[in-house]
Structure 1
Amino acid sequence: MRRGFSHRKKNACYAIYAFCRYIDDLVDKNLMRSLSSEESFEKISEAVNEWRQHLQALYNGEIIDHPIMIALKDTISRFDIPENLPNELIDGVNMDMSKTRYENFEDLKVYCYKVASVVGLMTTYVFGFKDDRTFNYAVDLELRCK
């Protein structure tokens, strides 16, 4: 009997994590360095949009010569991860540039969904679960962890 995950599933989870971590750091680390510079916000936004374009290219079958994108391309094609999920993560980290506080819990929930729940949803595809009950559980779990 085999224990744990296959190498393919482990590598897929690593690829998802690397993508998410890179995008989040791209915004968070750069925001910390330049809290008030409008020019810096534009540069960060341009960098994030470049990654969104790379992501679109992956889903169009193109190859992007970056280690994270190479691994992510294999993951999204092998496990059929819907295009909206990594894009929602990008939307969520973009929210970091415009908001630091949320007026109500519903707005906070939207943010948490984009930066946490979509990560759980992407890994749900890797683990082979594609039913609504599992997706709902993944969303709730990640919201509670955030």
Structure 2
Amino acid sequence: MKVIAVVGTKKTGKTTLVEALVRSLAKHGKVGTVKNMVDHPVDRGDTRRHFDAGADVVIGLGEARLLVRRDRGDLESALAELEREGMDYAVVEGFKNSSLFKIVMADIEVSNMVRRVRLPEVDEDLVAELAEMVRGMEDYKTAG
């Protein structure tokens, strides 16, 4: 599985680039994503009520299947799960301190930067170039 992270500060276009990369990579295989949601409470409302009642896992069914677990997990376990699910590509949004190769969307310094991009530069040609770069990467090896 090929893995790339898109990192940057808030409102720099990370999600816009992730969406475009996913669309482009999906033409060549199965794509999974991981989003860093440290400050985003995913367990409020009915999900929180189910947890408060004692559930360890809550599965929501609708247009998609959403599984919420009590365990926080980590990036490595999330990537291992995508690998087990047969993904060819994983696009990670956030996790700027990880060891992953990164496309940077802001004026921050990070390890393993492969490209710095500004939102106004994001067009079809750039996305195709970035997707081709990801397709040419070596497979990421998870611990799981």
> TM-score under structure 2 normalisation?
0.32
Name the structure, 1 or 2, with higher relative contact order (CA <8 Å, separation 6+).
Answer: 2
Q: Which has the higher strand share?
A: 2
> TM-score under structure 1 normalisation?
0.31
Q: Which has the higher helix share?
A: 1
